[in-house]
Amino acid sequence: MSNPKVLLVDDEEALLTSLQRRLQLRGFNVIAANRGESALRAARRQDVDVAVIDVKMPGMSGKELLLALKKEHPHIQIIVQTGHGLFDPRDKQVADKIFSCLAKPCDFSVLKQTIIDAYNKKKAL
């Protein structure tokens, strides 16, 4: 199994770094971004398999980001992390574009497993 390339997007720098470190330790290829815009740029530079996106961010919101990512890279798998009700996964606009929606803060093991599942799905495409 090749290493999945994961794009982590969160405005909480501390969380971003610790998650990045932990995922990298487990062999994931992690790109961290604290803004939607920079995440989009990073995705253009490298081929990203799975994007883990926080919903509420300054500047570009998680929803805008995922729509933009999906538009530019149709095969990218999106995992949304949310801590509030602003994001509705049943929204017709996004419902078929996200792989999973996780409540924040979520168990590291759950996150890891979800990323692996998403990667497997992408590979199967």
Partner 1 sequence: MADHYQKTYSWIRRHIILVIFLVLSIPFILVITIVYFTGYQYIKSSITQQAGFKLADAAIEVRSELDAGITGLCKTMSFLSESETMSGLQEEETLARIFARLEKESGDVFQDLAVVATDGQVLAGVFPYGRVYVDFSREEWFIGSCEDRVVVSDVHFDSRNNPYFIISVLHDHCQEQAMLRATVNGLWLSAFVENVRLGRTGEAFLVNSKGIAQTRSRMGKDFGEKLNMVFLEPQPDGTIRMAYHEQGVEMLAAITSLKSNSNWFLVVRQEKEEAIEDILMVRMVFIFGVILGVIFIMVIGYLTSSMLMKKIRQADEKKCEIDEQLIQSQKLAAIGQLSSGVAHEINNPLAVIGEEAGWLQDLMKDADFKDFKHAEEFRDSLGAIVDQVRRCKEVTHKLLSFARKMDSNFSEVNLKEVVDEVVEMREQDAFLDNITIEKVYDKKLPIIFSEPYLLRQLLLNLVNNAVDAISKGGKITIHARMGPQEKVLISVTDNGFGIPRENLNKIFDPFFTTKPPGKGTGLGLSTCHGIITKLGGEILVDSEVNKGSTFTVVLPAKPNPGNKTGEQAAGVE
Residue with Cβ nearer partner 1 (72 or 107): 107
State which residue, 58 or 85, has the beta carbon closest to partner 1. 85
Q: Given the complex with partner 1, which of 45 and 84 has the nearer CB atom?
A: 84
Alpha-carbon gap, residue 58 to 21, rounded angstroms: 23
97 near 67, Cβ under 8 Å? yes
- In three-state secondary structure terms, 81 is strand
Q: Are 103 and 59 in contact (CB under 8 A)?
A: no
- Write down the least CB distance from residue 21 to partner 1, Å: 5
User: Which residues of this chain interact with partner 1, rule CB under 8 A?
Assistant: 12, 14-15, 18-19, 21-22, 25, 82-85, 87-90, 101, 103-105, 107-108
